[in-house]
Structure 1
Amino acid sequence: MSTLTPLAPSGHPVLRPGEDEHSASAPAQGLGRRPPLLQWAALLALSILLAGLMELAGIPAALLMGPMVAGAIVGLNGGSIRLPRLLVFCSQALIGTLIAGSINAGIVTTFLGNWPLFLGVVVCVITMSTLSGYLISRLNILPGTTAIWGCSAGAATTMMVMAEAYGADARLVAFMQYLRVVFVAGAAALVARFWVGIDSAAPAIVWFPPIEPLSLAQTLLIALFAGLLGWRLRIPAGVLLLPFLFGGLMSISGLVTIHLPEWLLAISYALLGWNIGLGFTRRILSHARRVLLPTVASILVLMAISGGLAYLLTRTAGIDPLTAYLATSPGGMDSIAIIAADSDVDIAFVMALQTARLLLVTAIGPALARFVATRSGRTPPVT
């Protein structure tokens, strides 16, 4: 799932956690009464503290997880600051090119040699997420078709646009999609640290390494060009996906050496974490309070199923546990990419399976959700 602020066909942003048509006129609470500069300072300080503690604990992607938790704390305490969409675009494009630098020709071999396995895993994840949404909808736990769109394992932007077309509660759909990203990213980081047993000391981070001007310029150009192309074409997760694919092709061909300094990556990770975390506010939690437990339960069930699929991969295909778990994680492709890049895994396998899931969900997800919404007895509005 992409964490971009989605756009409706009209070009206006689709509501995300913490936003509604009355947000601008809502009275400020807690941190929201403080000047924005003070809010940003508090967010930055808290992010540095949490990221540092997580780094000491050996949790992968601490530079993502720390700001994500800090953003949620600020948001839940009334913070009113939000990231400009342009900064989110830039962070995703840079993360896409980062992963491109880790890809080699083996990703094509991996994909072609395991496509039946990939297809089976992806179909299982999509089937179970759709079934989960159908059951929640039939039980009338969530209004209308909200559960069907909210439980979709990916293509979040498309699902939120479709949800509005069906008269579903876009705020709840956004909340369910973003909450799953938080759960999946957190679980993946904890699995990498504790379950798989990555306990060796991480190498010291070189924040300001020698810069190769030509390689850095080429890398930034790829990120800019491919990211803009993905945004203009409205490809789901395109701002991340196209820099990843285009940069990977350029890197494999030897035309470009991907080079991004650590300080720039840290900024990108923090921006992505803030974008996710700041979306969780008192307003959206109050709105979603009645359905919070069913939503969490559906997320945990989907994660458990994905964990079972990961176990099957380790037993049948000889894939190491962490690679299998990250590859089958349902959603949050950018977050999973960061965790994979920060862990000792087969990143080609992880990204090949994640890309296959995204493409298949994008291709059949909306039609499948529309079919299930109709079968559930929720008739779409006449347009």
Structure 2
Amino acid sequence: MTRDGARSLAVALAAGLVGAGGATLVGVPAAALIGSTVAVTLAAFLRLRPAIPGMLRNVAFLVIGVTLGAGVTPHFLSDIANWPVSLAMLAVTMAGVMVVSGALLQRGYGLDPVTARLATSPGALSYCLSLAASGIGDLRAVMVLQSLRLLVITLLLPPIIAVVGAGPDAAGLHSLGEIGYGASALILAVAFVAGLVGERVNLPAAYLLVGLTISAATHAAGLVEGRLPVPLTFLGFTVTGAVIGARFSGLTRQELSRLGSAGLAAASAALAISAVASLLTAWIVGLPFGQVWVAFAPGGVEAMSSMALSLGYDPVFVATHHVFRIVVLIAVMPLLLRFGTGR
């Protein structure tokens, strides 16, 4: 690596770590990813030329894939069987959000179909951003729109739900533990080799998809249980944020204003659609409207599960629906993107 390359890497990592740490301290949704992106974007605007080499970028994508795959566990599969009606309604809601919000972004703001699909995906933020960072769609538009979705839902949903009223006392938060560093290293090593093969055969976002597939398979089979250690996931999301932020150097004030308006419109539409669907589902299955809305709202699984716990709803119900949503999105997004490009 040249001296300039080392300097650019140091700038990206330093800014990313500061941004991720600061966002974590103040409780920003998807803190490591968004905080790092914002900080490195600022460094790019200041012409400090942040950059992440390809190999480090691939390792970060691999960590994200393995982290996402950890949500597919034997417990998750058994939980799905408990709520078939609400999960089916959630799938219909997801389709409605993507169709309505996608049409809004394409017709009202001129986004291309692929970017609109990635930007309106009601969840799987890191997956969609990693796909965009690999060259699929407009990365800057996807980042701004997806970040606004998380921010709007996280800020607006709690006060609205509080007005609706909390439900019964919640059970313990359904969360995954951590696997050891030895098992983590083994999974990452195997996935990295498979990612090299995927890259050779031109698999889109090869390291992300291979890491996701291997992790999901081993977790679903019960071979391992739990997420990668927090420091690894923190670094993985921080580096990915740095990759994204380094590509924001050309974003103008006019673009930011236009994307901000588009993001607020899309997020509001998604929130309204999920509210109507939640009201109908709550009436059908006999559960509190607020609980179903938190489960259907297109926010992050960790944030929504914590919100459910604080409002007195069942966090297992909420977490299962959000993980189900992410799994479905990851499964269908490649098909939707291929349809959008006409290939």
Partner of 1:352: 324
1:272 alignment partner, one of 213, 222, 240: 240
**Is this contact kept in 2: 1:89–1:239, CA < 8 A?**
yes
| C-alpha deviation, 1:305, in angstroms | 2.0
Q: Does 1:81 align with 2:45?
A: no
Quick check: 1:90 aligned with 2:54? no
Aligned partner (choices 234, 255, 263) of residue 299 of structure 1: 263
Q: Aligned in 2, Cα 1:56/1:365: closer, same or farther, shift over 3 Å?
A: closer
One of 306, 309, 315 as aligned partner of 2:273: 309
Q: SS at 1:184's partner residue?
A: helix
User: Could you tell me which of 216, 224, 246 is aligned with 2:192?
Assistant: 224
Following TM superposition, by how much is the alpha carbon of 1:270 offset from its aligned partner in structure 2, in angstroms?
A: 0.9
- Does 1:150 find its partner at 2:115? yes
Q: 2: distance between equivalents of 1:193 and 1:230?
A: 42
Give the letter aligned to residue 272 of structure 1. Answer: T
Secondary structure at the counterpart of residue 151 of structure 1? helix
* CA distance in 2: counterparts of 1:74 and 1:216, whole angstroms: 32
Which position in structure 1 is the counterpart of 2:296?
A: 324
How far the C-alpha of 1:180 sits from its partner, in A, is 2.0
SS of structure 1 residue aligned to 2:142: helix
Conserved? CA contact 1:133–1:149, under 8 Å: no
- Mapped to 1, the partners of 2:191 and 2:304 lie a distance apart of 19
User: What is the root-mean-square deviation of aligned Cα atoms in Å?
Assistant: 4.2
Name the CA distance, whole Å, in 1 between partners of 2:61 and 2:217. Answer: 18
- What residue is the counterpart of 2:214 in the other structure? 246
- Corresponding residue number in structure 2 for 1:378: none
**1:94–1:268 CA contact under 8 A, matched in 2:** yes
Residue aligning to 2:148: 183
Structure 2 length as normaliser, TM-score? 0.67
**Letter matched to residue 363 of structure 1:** L
Q: Structure 2: any 5+ residue segments left out of the alignment?
A: 122-127, 163-177, 310-314
In structure 1, runs of 5+ residues without a counterpart are 1-33, 163-169, 198-208, 330-335, 372-383
1:67 and 1:277 in contact (8 A); partners too = yes
CA shift at 1:74, angstroms? 0.7
CA distance in 1, matches of 2:337, 2:198: 19
SS of aligned partner of 1:128: helix
Q: Deviations over 1:240-285 (max 9, x none)?
A: 344334323322323234563332222112101112222211x342
Partner of 1:57: 26
Q: Secondary structure at the match of 1:150?
A: helix
Rounded Cα–Cα distance in structure 1 between residues aligned with 2:59 and 2:34: 19
Give SS of 2:252's match.
Answer: helix
Distance 1:80 1:188, change over 3 A: farther
Q: Residues of 2 paired with 1:223 and 1:341: CA distance?
A: 29
Identity level (%): 16
Larger helix percent: 2
Q: How far did 1:220 drift? A: 2.0
Look up the equivalent residue of 1:123 and give its one-letter code: A
Distance 2:155 2:199 in 1: 32
CA contact (8 A) 2:8 2:51 kept: no
CA shift, 1:73, in A, is: 0.8
